[in-house]
Chain A
Amino acid sequence: MERSAIAPMPSLEIKRYTGIMDWLTTVDHKKIGLMYFWFTVTMGIVGGALAGLIRFQLATPGAVIETLQAAHLAGGPEPFSLFSNGGGIFGDQDRFNQMVTMHASVMIFFTIIPGFIAFMNYIVPLMVGARDMAFPKMNAFGFWLLIPSAMLMLSSFFVQGGAAASGWTTYPPLSILGHGTKPGQDMWVMGVHLAGVSSILAAINFIVTIASLKVMKWRDLPLFAWATLFVSIMALIATPVLAAAVTMVLLDRNFNTTFTIASQGGDPILYQHIFWFYSHPAVYIMILPGFGGISHVIAAFSRKRVFGYLGMVLATGSITALGFVVWAHHMFVVGMPTWMQYYFQVASLAIGVPTGIKVFSWLATMWGGTIRMTVSMMFACGFLCLFVLGGFGGLILALTAVDYTLNNTYFVVGHFHMVLVGGSVMLLFSMTYFWWPKMSGHFLSERLGKWVFWLMFIGVFIAFFAMHISGANGMARRIAVYYSDFRFSNYLTTVGYLMTFTSACLFFGDLIYSYRRPKITVDDPWQINDIQQSFEWATSCPPPVYNFAKVPPIPILEQIPSHDHKH
């Protein structure tokens, strides 16, 4: 028989590494999660520094435009013809464009997205009662890929012509400029490729981990795991499309194709459609994990089970689905047919409904609970305030007619910073204060944390609300200089930046110092395990390499109190 021809099984010696090699060869989801976390912190400092340079430039209107404005009033040329040599600290507008592009790229690809992946990596396998991710080596590979990606993007500052300068949206024809002599844009594209592969692999891994390794039934799956699942589906479907879009730019720059070159039969607007087909879902990739995370935070610190579990799951699902059919609200002014503008306006407004369901469910979770105002909870509440505010800006921008006026002004910049910093970053802070004791085995300071929170909350509000004002008054984005009419609102933004910066410094110091605080010896330092539907508080802080010696008893959602019994 053929089967007897099969060779005997080779025996496997398990190699265990120690020290630095242990980290370099690790496939443990907890170690990889921590590496993601520290990568995110590092890149957050880089991205914040780039933001600081931008703010330094925009702190004053810029000398050149003042002169030109005077000349214009005296009958001279339009000041905005100045586009290509703005003056100021960068010498020219091109340097400023590089700062803007790289600030966005670093924050999106290396800070917010991997920041959430850090928590998804660390917490989700614990939550669902698994020993590790479904594909541990691929998980490590996904993390390592971010490093060459970041290397490519950041090192491009130092090559001839500097970094990519066409904005993170890489619109042609701007992104086709300088081909063959300015490699920054090519390096940016290949950096995005690597980051894209990393996020596709992570997405597949999360889907399989949740679908196949969870010990509870679907109807008991924790909300953070649900959010991870939906985000992974989004990332899996959307990211290859981004790769295709930026590949077109790369090919057009270097390999004689004409995908985006209008004069040679290409279509730059079609590029925008393909790009936003990824990048609108990407904004949900940057916030949905946090939505899932603070459902746990709010429930834990209100001492109640989360309100409307099923509604939360369905709302997350419908945001995922709707997220794929609204992309063109980013391009109302490119000259689309009216019916398309109308459709994309209505569909974009419709996303407010599931988002509203989530916001009201969080409020209802707090309602009647015994609220403990830990720093994590403060960040969750701060998120609710700022995110709703930023979300309303989004509703305004979704109106086609209004968007015609506000497009490419600081109103747009204020809106997406309010939802990304006031939303995603506040969520990241909330989740860090909540789960850091589990991840490191040490508490962050609750006293210093109050300072971190208030400085950040007020700073973010001032900085980005002032941007809305600048934009509504007509200040154009991505230009290194501005009229002196916008001086005061820009002054406010700079003040807000400095407050946020101080807050981030305090947080960073505290994060490092936390390792010197006493080790947490209990499994459940927040004393919330009885009202959680997940497993991460049922093992030590930090958990052992195998997570659970035995799978803990499965909590039943219905048996968690829906109101506080002590209340």
Chain B
Amino acid sequence: MSEQLTTDVEHHEDPMSHVPPGSIWPLLATASLTIVPFGVVSVLGAFNATHWAIVGPFVFPAVGKAALILGGLGFVFFLMCWCNQIIREKTISHDVVAQQKDLQLFILLFLCGELMAFGAVFGYFYHQRLYVEGFGPAEGMEFGGPTVAYATFILLFSSVTCEFAHHALQSYKVGLAKALFSATILLGIAFLGFQGYEWGILIQHGFIPVGGSLTDSAVASFASCFYVGTGFHGLHVAIGLVMLFMVLMRLEFGHFRGRRHFAVLAASWYWHFVDIVWVLLFITVYVVR
């Protein structure tokens, strides 16, 4: 038979932390996410041949584009509402330390998942490198010039500013933290700018897997990996920027007192993760031959 044990159940005795009120935001976020894939198919023109009675206005790519944008914006908006609700609940909850631990575990596990997705891309890259003759940029082609070096330096430096911002916040220097987070955001935007510039140059030179000036199939395969690897990374930089921006806004509103600043930690971990992935990607794309 069972026996009464004395356990520390304080963690579970806070009704606010584990019986929270309902929330409409997950449903609304899903609802706006629902129209995005239909918009994608419509923009691609693949609904053209389907009868309008079945897909409705989605037969027109223009409608699809509008739906795509509206759905995406709606999703981000409802996500913000969701975050806002959580922030409001957390600010009056007492069970801070335990929740911070849960959230840290959440972001760590999430990054593990992200790492696996990048792992598939890297796995593909190295498989091709090993088994495909001539996998890499075309002979005599301008690839990986100073732009990439600047971009790499900028991103590495932004990781440093981000870390210092976090430290500044921990010693309650909110003004300094704001300045350093702003610097991090600007550096991140600059990185994306350099990446866009690099892509633009390459596309202009016809460095496209299909339909460009590439004749060698091994180079085409490299181009696929290059765009998808750097594009997927760039997407993560963009998400990191959104997170940093939210941190900056919340600093502006005077959140983050004492030990409760999970959002800062999450944004900073995420930013470092993006940085590490970039280093790996840089080595994979530009260094290993």
Contacts and interface: CB of A to CB of B under 8 A. Distances in A.
Interface of A: 1-3, 5-7, 9-12, 14-17, 21-22, 24-27, 129-132, 134-138, 140-141, 144-145, 147-148, 151-152, 158-161, 179-183, 186-187, 190-191, 193-194, 200, 203-204, 207-208, 211-213, 215-216, 236-241, 243-245, 248, 251, 254, 256-259, 263-267, 270, 274, 277, 530, 545-546, 551, 553-556, 559
Given A130-B12, A132-B19, A244-B120, A257 B27 contact: no
A2 B171 CA distance: 10
A190 B40 contact: yes
B37 A152 contact: yes
Which 5 A-B residue pairings sit nearest by Cβ, starting from the closest? A265-B221, A131-B18, A244-B120, A25-B22, A265-B217
B1 to A, nearest CB: 6
A151 B36 CA distance: 13
Interface in B132-180: 132, 135, 172-175
A7 B254 contact: yes
Interface string B267-281: 000000000000000
A17 B34 CA distance: 24
A241 B172 contact: no
B120 A274 contact: yes
A212 B101 contact: yes
Interface residues of B, number: 90
B22 A16 contact: yes
A132 B30 CA distance: 22
Contact of B46 (A17, A27, A130, A186): A186
Interface of B: 1-5, 7, 9, 11-12, 15, 18-27, 29-30, 33-34, 37-38, 40-41, 44-51, 54-55, 82, 85-86, 88-89, 91-92, 98, 101-102, 105-106, 109-110, 112-114, 116-117, 119-121, 123-124, 127-128, 131-132, 135, 172-175, 208-211, 216-222, 224-225, 227-228, 253-255, 257
A245 B116 CA distance: 12
Given A136-B20, A244-B120, A259-B124, A559 B44 contact: no
A137 B25 contact: yes
B102 A204 contact: no
A543 to B, nearest CB: 12
12 contacts: A12-B92, A25-B22, A25-B27, A138-B26, A159-B55, A180-B44, A190-B41, A208-B105, A236-B113, A263-B217, A265-B218, A270-B127
A258 B106 contact: no
Contact of B23 (A2, A25, A186, A556): A25
B172 A2 contact: yes
Of A17, A215, A216, A257, the most chain B CB neighbours within 10 A belong to A257
Contacts of A5: 174, 254
Of B85, B123, B173, B222, the most chain A CB neighbours within 10 A belong to B123
Contact of B44 (A21, A138, A186, A266): A186
Contacts of A144: 26-27, 30
B217 A258 contact: yes
Contacts of A194: 33, 37
Nearest to B26: A141
Given A148-B30, A208-B109, A244 B121 contact: yes
Given A183-B44, A212-B101, 15 more contacts: A7-B255, A10-B91, A26-B22, A132-B20, A134-B102, A161-B49, A190-B37, A203-B109, A211-B105, A213-B11, A245-B120, A258-B224, A259-B124, A553-B4, A556-B5
